[in-house]
Amino acid sequence: MKIAIGNDHAGVDLKQYIMQNFKEHEFINVGTDSVESCDYPDYIHPVAKAVQERRVDLGIAICGTGIGASIVANKHKGIRAALCTNEFMATMARRHNDANVLVLGARVIGMDLAIHIIEAFVKSEFEGGRHQRRLEKIEKIEKNERLL
């Protein structure tokens, strides 16, 4: 699986730990490798663009809390970024919401928990069915169309 991974200064150590623990996946590193303060939009935008343009299968976005990264990623049409703090959230984000970007807060979760969250996210698949109808409504919102 090809994964775009991006981070700000708060996520440098977590990103490196993730890439070391998932050698079976190909990572496109668009994040900073410096712990000097920087602006997360500069590194999360390329993750979302890579997913949006289908250059990768999934994205992982990391900042201090994950909140800013979620906001940035979800500004992109077709991106369904999910901030997950446990495996259940990651599984359901994929199964019910067809999430294509996993967002992690480096200052919120531990490194080993992050690994379990990623495992759950990557191995889960979209269930379709009634959930597809909901995604279609999200697409209408993106196009500024009426829902009802």
pLDDT score of 144 more than 90:
no
pLDDT score of 148 more than 80:
no
Whether 63 sits among the annotated catalytic residues: the reply is: yes
Residue from 9, 63, 76, 84 carrying the catalytic annotation: 63
Residue from 45, 96, 116, 131 carrying the catalytic annotation: 96
In SS3 terms, the chain reads as CEEEEEECHHHHHHHHHHHHHCCCCEEEECCCCCCCCCCCHHHHHHHHHHHHCCCCCEEEEEECCCHHHHHHHCCCCCCCEEECCCHHHHHHHHHHHCCCEEEEECCCCCHHHHHHHHHHHHHCCCCCCHHHHHHHHHHHHHCCCCCC
Query: For 81-115, how does the pLDDT look when each residue is reduced to its tens digit (9 = 90+)?
Result: 999 999 999 999 999 999 999 999 999 999 999 99
Ordered structural domains, the chain, with CATH:
2-142 (3.40.1400.10)
Whether 38 sits among the annotated catalytic residues: the reply is: no
Query: For 65-82, how does the pLDDT look when each residue is reduced to its tens digit (9 = 90+)?
Result: 999 999 999 999 999 999
